[in-house]
Amino acid sequence: MTSMNYAVILAGGVGSRFWPFSRELEPKQFMQIIGQESLLQAAIQRLKGVVDPARTYIITNKIYFYEVKAQITKFRIPDKNIILEPLGKNTAPAVGLCAKLISHLDKDAVLLVLPSDHYIKNVENFKKTLKKAIACARKDFLVTIGIKPSAPSTGYGYIKAGDRENGHFVVDKFLEKPDLNKAKKYFKDKKFFWNSGMFIWKASVFLEEARKYLPKLYANLQRINSVNDIPKIWPGIEAISVDYGIMERSQRIALIPADFYWTDLGSWDALAEIFPKDKRGNISNSDTLNVDSHGVCVFARGNRLVSTIGVNNMIIADTPDALLVCARSRTQDVKQLVEKLKTLKRKEHQVHLTERRPWGSFTVLQQGIGFKIKLIELTPKKRFSLQRHKDRAEHWVVVSGLAKITRAGKVSFVRSNESVYIPKGSKHRLENPLSIPLKIVEVQTGAYLEEDDIERFEDDFKKECR
């Protein structure tokens, strides 16, 4: 019997090098960077004709459950195929967990392990490469897809290939991200490939190699027989990558060269390679005016004009609450900046002014001493938890749509240009009964206005933050 193909899409990363567009609660895989789909949706779409949606699994952090659920709905991937990590433990535990769970369903399963944040052109060639890798994996190899370097990049790990055998290369060794001098040497040598982080193998073969090289991880995985076992086993699992834990040590590695354009969008400079440039090498996805500037890349969210005069080789990333200005040669260091934001406990590392929720989103329009103003959008047929606040009162003005409001046990309907007052301490709930979005302006007043001033009584979204 021919083994079936299963996709394991890794969607738990933060993507901190794309700050300020990416934030901890809104990482890059959920963003529409290129085209009309998010990177996650594009990763799923590329698999059409290779892996059935029913056999496509998404592994992510538990805090992203509702975002993933919303993004995969149109692909008809079952909710049970969203595997939740209580805490990120790097790629080896994530892949091992999926291998263990899927092997219960199909002991001969072939897994296509694919990151959710890559950009790939020529999808048909991508599919052909996957099919070559699948055929190789069925011969019990751990298969990696290698990318022929287009430049001496220091942002990627490398793979040194050996002899070619039966359509694949034997792998000599995996190498960490190099300095510039080593990268130049690797670039000139035809035996070196970029490590794409895309892997294809049988679940059973991966677990065999985990037993050899990561025995503690393997022992913990053996204790997981269903998703219900994950929360109690996961804290005892050590974080380690597939590369370090298995690929650098296994003797069963094969490399299939990629025949398509690929970038992992690991930094702003990688994104700058994709967009078209003007005569001076400038790139923009927004309203931009450059005077005597060269090699300037401007990416902006919002309607603000961004202007430059006489600057060269810069990345400018503008959002309503944070602006990044960075030399193009230093884009890998954005991660260091995000670490500083965390240390300083700045909210800009975590969320945008517009925060998405399972029920919709809200945008902080203005905030001062004793007040906060929000624009709230509630998606069709969704509602807040039944709740009350100890320290604040709220005044809701309906901008568009129809609001169903429960207040102190009574239900009323509030239309556009009408308003309602929610006193401090009053139980209340906002609901959108229509099939169109509901938009309201919320004015909060009180001594304490943070999101944790909420006491919930009934909640459709046990993981929601509202």
CATH number at residue 412: 2.60.120.10
Q: Give the pLDDT confidence score for residue 85 in this predicted structure.
A: 94
| H/E stretch holding 93 | helix 91-105
- Show which of 340, 371, 387 is a domain's final residue: 340
Same domain, 283 and 428: no
Q: Give the pLDDT confidence score for residue 32 in this predicted structure.
A: 87
Same domain, 179 and 211: yes
Residue 87 placed within a domain: yes
User: Are 263 and 273 spatial neighbours (Cβ–Cβ below 8 Å)?
Assistant: yes
Give me the percent of the chain exceeding a pLDDT of 70.
98
| H/E stretch holding 356 | strand 354-357
Q: Give the pLDDT confidence score for residue 319 in this predicted structure.
A: 92
Work out whether the CA dihedral 283, 288, 289, 291 comes out positive or negative: negative
Same domain, 331 and 362: no
CA distance 113 to 134: 11
Most confident of 56-60, 159-163, 271-275: 56-60
* Predicted confidence (pLDDT) at residue 466 exceeds the cutoff of 60: no
Q: Give the pLDDT confidence score for residue 260 in this predicted structure.
A: 92
Q: What is the pLDDT of residues 212-236, one digit of tens each?
A: 999 999 999 999 999 999 999 999 9
Residue 346 placed within a domain: no
The three-point CA angle 292-294-297 to 5° equals: 120
- Show which of 288, 310, 340 is a domain's final residue: 340
* Predicted confidence (pLDDT) at residue 93 exceeds the cutoff of 90: yes
CA distance 418 to 57: 45
pLDDT band at 1 (very low <50, low <70, confident <90, very high): very low
The distance of Cα 63 from the centroid of its chain, to the nearest Å, equals 11
Residue closest to 10 by CA, chosen among 43, 42, 33, 37: 43
Q: Give the pLDDT confidence score for residue 452 in this predicted structure.
A: 87
How many other C-beta atoms are found inside a 10 Å radius of the C-beta of residue 409? 8
| DSSP secondary structure letters along 211-267 | HHH-HHHHHHHHT-SSGGGHHHHGGGPPP--HIIIIITT-S-EEEEE--SEEE---S
Residue 464 placed within a domain: no
Same domain, 91 and 164: yes
pLDDT band at 342 (very low <50, low <70, confident <90, very high): very high
Same domain, 380 and 452: yes
Q: Averaged over 49-71, what is the pLDDT?
A: 94
* Predicted confidence (pLDDT) at residue 461 exceeds the cutoff of 90: no
Q: Averaged over 186-193, what is the pLDDT?
A: 92
Same domain, 12 and 158: yes
Q: Averaged over 332-359, what is the pLDDT?
A: 91
Same domain, 178 and 327: no
Residue 92 placed within a domain: yes
Q: Give the pLDDT confidence score for residue 2 in this predicted structure.
A: 54
Q: Averaged over 42-71, what is the pLDDT?
A: 94
pLDDT band at 61 (very low <50, low <70, confident <90, very high): very high
Same domain, 221 and 293: no
What are 64's strand-pairing partners? none
Residue 136 placed within a domain: yes
Same domain, 151 and 216: yes
In this structure, of 2-6, 47-51, 393-397, the range with the lowest mean pLDDT score is 2-6
Q: Averaged over 102-122, what is the pLDDT?
A: 94
pLDDT band at 166 (very low <50, low <70, confident <90, very high): confident
Same domain, 94 and 32: yes
pLDDT band at 451 (very low <50, low <70, confident <90, very high): confident
Q: What is the pLDDT of residues 422-437, one digit of tens each?
A: 999 999 999 999 999 9
CATH assignment of the domain containing 169: 3.90.550.10
Same domain, 336 and 420: no
User: Are 113 and 8 spatial neighbours (Cβ–Cβ below 8 Å)?
Assistant: yes
* Predicted confidence (pLDDT) at residue 111 exceeds the cutoff of 50: yes
Q: Averaged over 134-152, what is the pLDDT?
A: 94
Residue 93 placed within a domain: yes
Residue 345 placed within a domain: no
- The total number of structural domains that make up the chain: 3
pLDDT band at 266 (very low <50, low <70, confident <90, very high): confident
Q: Give the pLDDT confidence score for residue 464 in this predicted structure.
A: 38
Mean pLDDT for the chain overall:
92
Residue closest to 201 by CA, chosen among 244, 250, 155: 250
Q: Give the pLDDT confidence score for residue 465 in this predicted structure.
A: 33
Q: Give the pLDDT confidence score for residue 340 in this predicted structure.
A: 95
Same domain, 250 and 358: no
Question: Which residues in 25-64 are b (16+ Cβ under 10 Å) and which e?
Answer: bbbbbbbebbeeebbbbbbbebbeebbebebbbbbbbeeb
Q: Averaged over 106-123, what is the pLDDT?
A: 94
Q: Give the pLDDT confidence score for residue 30 in this predicted structure.
A: 92
Describe the strand order of the beta sheet including 438-446 as a list of residue ranges.
Answer: 354-357, 360-368, 371-378, 438-446, 392-400, 419-422
Q: Tell me which residue range forms the domain holding 423.
A: 354-458
Q: Averaged over 6-21, what is the pLDDT?
A: 90
3 state SS of 202: strand
Give me the percent of the chain exceeding a pLDDT of 90.
77
Q: Judging by DSSP bridges, how do beta strands 455-458 and 438-446 pair with one another?
A: unpaired
Q: Give the pLDDT confidence score for residue 249 in this predicted structure.
A: 93
Q: Averaged over 441-462, what is the pLDDT?
A: 90
